[in-house]
Structure 1
Amino acid sequence: MTSTELKPQARLQGWVMAIQDCRSSGLPVRQWCRERGITPTTYYRWERELLSIADSTATLPETPAVAFAELPVPKQVCCNASERSATLHLDNVSIDIYPQCGAEQLKALVEILRTC
């Protein structure tokens, strides 16, 4: 795509984000526009245009229904306490780390623990 083709797309995306910001702000549209130096007429014109685009894409053929696939149950790994490499304690939470635990798994576990 060339820059001349991307500019209108970027402008649309900017207005999508602006309209979402306005709607989630809890402010009346006129106040939100006033605070940002936008006329309400411009805001509503863009809102109509974006809704029109959304309506025109909604008339496309529907996507097929969601299909579910049966997956095999993962093999259960039983680990004895004597096999663990380390135990990670953080406040009232602890996790036993076993030799099979990869670096990415360990990193994910630490991130989860930080949120507890």
Structure 2
Amino acid sequence: MFVFLLAVLPLKCYMCSSSATNDECNKNIQECRAPHDTCMTIVDTSGTSKAIAKHCASQATCRGAASTASVDSNGNGNTIRCCSNTDFCNLSGADSINRNTELLLLTVGVALLLSR
């Protein structure tokens, strides 16, 4: 009789408290411990300056914070991203917002071209 033990490995996230750039922020690694099961990325923008913070959080905490995040028409405010699908899923920070928008527009553009 074989007994299979499945080891649940903790999620690994990039971690920083207040970095000006994403590259700066991705120098430290944190292993999430229960109940923290999610990588949380917070990007605060004020004018031309950005402050990026990344750490482990519980999924409920991250989603709750993300639901109250907002950016005004001038681009000032904060965005919060939550991920838990793979280790280091919080690789992107401030840049991810623009890249995701560009990717969406590219996908829509290709779909429109193919539908003609």
Asked if Structure 1 and Structure 2 have the same fold, meaning a TM-score greater than 0.5 normalized by the shorter chain, the answer is: no
Q: Relative contact order, CA 8 A, sep 6+: which one is greater?
A: 2
Q: Which has the higher strand share?
A: 2
* Structure (1 or 2) with the larger CA radius of gyration: 1
Using the size of structure 1 for normalisation, the TM-score is 0.23
Higher share in helix? 1
**TM-score scaled by structure 2?**
0.23
